[in-house]
């Protein structure tokens, strides 16, 4: 049964996800690796299948029915995503392969504009995609990369952020939600402070997009980026949203078909948004699948979704507090969806392996955040991350399995 508008029924939602019905090593699958990737509802799988079965053709260039239908679905998907994030104009939605490519498009342009006296500001809690990319852009341009520290509980040091902002700050890039800690950053306030200094602002929304209420106009940022696969959509597709006034003359990322206006043997000129930043044949099926995911998610009662995910995190936190030998990593007052922890005397990889034998899927390691782990003095953590289809019983199952794991490792 397809969820209806303003509707939230956990059993009906779970029935939409075929992969959740399987068993691992004879145990029901408990999938708690949603910060890495979310599972896909049947409507997304069907939308991709329908494209390949009904109208597989290249977009924008064909002169036949299949190409027209493919183009219609492809551009309708752009409208769907634009509405979902409250974009000012559909042309501001640029299709990418994911968050990483989207950040690289912005960084490539910034590297051509930055000067040695300029500064780029990021945080200690960055995913490598929003750290290494800016590190390399600064190395190419001679600009300075500055790092905003975090508090020991994983919250951003907002006083330090304000102190590090200067008239030389040309861009601020920070995560909406930390993938390793679950910290929710006050992005609207931080964006306003950065804009007051004349800086551009990029928000890494990879972990924030699937929790609802993303309004890019209200945030006030210049760029908001995310991946489809963390929003119940397929892998290999994502979004770079950018203000049209900023993107319309942004340095091109790739050249080739689709993004041009006029070409001669001597020179070429580039098309208008969004085409100028979408060279080559796009991931058409992925885009259509992402639109199906956005439509599916938008039909849920977002307030109920948020309350449910908060209840999952609260249940895990409460059980952790009475679990001897378990330490939560990341206890910021405002956090969501991510429960990172260590079992004293155990390596996270061993914990993950033994949980898997019991049907519990989590993530272990540095979570593409090695500098953050170094800041915390840890080799890595075990991370359970929650989504709309997880249940309180699954949280309980995690802790039952952790108790057995602790006994085995002892």
Q: Which residue has the tokens 């040309």?
A: 170
Contacts of 16 (CB under 8 A, 6+ apart): 2, 3, 41, 42, 43, 296, 389
Strand arrangement of the beta sheet that strand 363-365 belongs to: 326-329, 338-343, 381-385, 363-365
In the set 55, 138, 221, 368, the catalytic residue is 368
In 3-state terms, what secondary structure has residue 200? strand
The b-or-e profile of 93-131 (16+ CB within 10 A means b, else e) is bbbbbbbbbbbbbbbbbbbeebeeebbbbbbbbbbbbbb
Q: Which residues contact 185 (CB under 8 A, 6 or more apart)?
A: 123, 156, 174, 175, 176, 177, 178
Is 221 annotated as catalytic? no
Whole-number Cα distances in Å, 410 to 195, 332, 347: 53, 30, 12
Gap between the Cα atoms of 140 and 115, Å rounded: 10
Question: What's the CA gap between 276 and 130, in Å, rounded?
Answer: 23
Whose tokens are 């085409």? That residue is 275
Structure-derived torsion over alpha carbons of residues 150, 155, 157, 162, reported in degrees to the nearest 10: 120
> Around Cβ 239, how many Cβ atoms within 10 Å?
30
Catalytic residues, which ones?
A: 368
């Amino acid at each position: 049964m397809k969820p209806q508008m303003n509707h939230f029924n956990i059993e009906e939602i779970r029935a939409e996800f075929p992969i959740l019905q399987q068993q691992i090593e004879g145990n029901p699958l408990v999938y708690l690796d949603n910060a890495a990737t979310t599972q896909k509802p049947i409507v997304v799988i069907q939308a991709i299948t329908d494209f390949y079965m009904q109208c597989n053709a290249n977009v924008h260039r064909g002169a036949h029915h299949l190409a027209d239908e493919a183009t219609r679905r492809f551009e309708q998907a752009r409208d769907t995503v634009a509405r979902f994030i409250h974009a000012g104009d559909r042309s501001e939605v640029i299709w990418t392969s994911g968050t990483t490519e989207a950040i690289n498009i912005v960084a490539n342009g910034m590297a051509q504009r930055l000067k040695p006296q300029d500064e780029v500001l990021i945080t200690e809690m960055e995913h490598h995609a929003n750290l290494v990319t800016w590190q390399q852009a600064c190395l190419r341009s001679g600009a300075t990369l500055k790092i905003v520290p975090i508090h020991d509980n994983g919250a951003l040091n907002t006083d330090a952020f304000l102190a590090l902002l200067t008239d030389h700050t040309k861009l601020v890039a920070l995560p909406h939600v930390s993938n390793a800690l679950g910290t929710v950053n006050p992005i609207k306030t931080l964006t306003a402070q950065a804009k007051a200094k004349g800086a551009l602002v990029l928000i890494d929304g990879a972990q924030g997009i699937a929790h609802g209420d993303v309004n890019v106009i209200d945030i006030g940022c210049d760029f908001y980026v995310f991946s489809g696969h963390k929003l119940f959509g397929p892998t290999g597709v994502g979004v770079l949203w950018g203000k049209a006034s900023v993107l319309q003359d942004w340095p091109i990322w790739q050249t080739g078909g689709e993004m041009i206006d006029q070409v001669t043997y001597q020179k070429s000129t580039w098309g208008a948004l969004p085409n100028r930043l979408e060279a080559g044949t796009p991931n058409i099926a992925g885009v259509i699948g992402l639109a199906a995911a956005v439509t599916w998610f938008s039909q849920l009662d977002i307030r109920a979704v948020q309350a449910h995910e908060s209840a999952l995190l609260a249940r895990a936190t409460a059980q952790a507090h009475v679990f001897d030998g378990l330490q939560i990593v990341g206890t910021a007052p405002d956090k969501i969806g991510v429960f990172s922890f260590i079992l004293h005397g155990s390596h996270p990889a061993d914990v993950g392996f033994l949980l898997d034998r019991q049907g519990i899927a989590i993530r272990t390691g540095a979570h593409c955040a090695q500098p953050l782990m170094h800041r915390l003095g840890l080799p890595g953590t075990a991370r359970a991350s929650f989504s709309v289809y997880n249940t309180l019983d699954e949280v309980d199952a995690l802790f039952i399995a952790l108790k057995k794991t602790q006994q085995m490792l002892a």
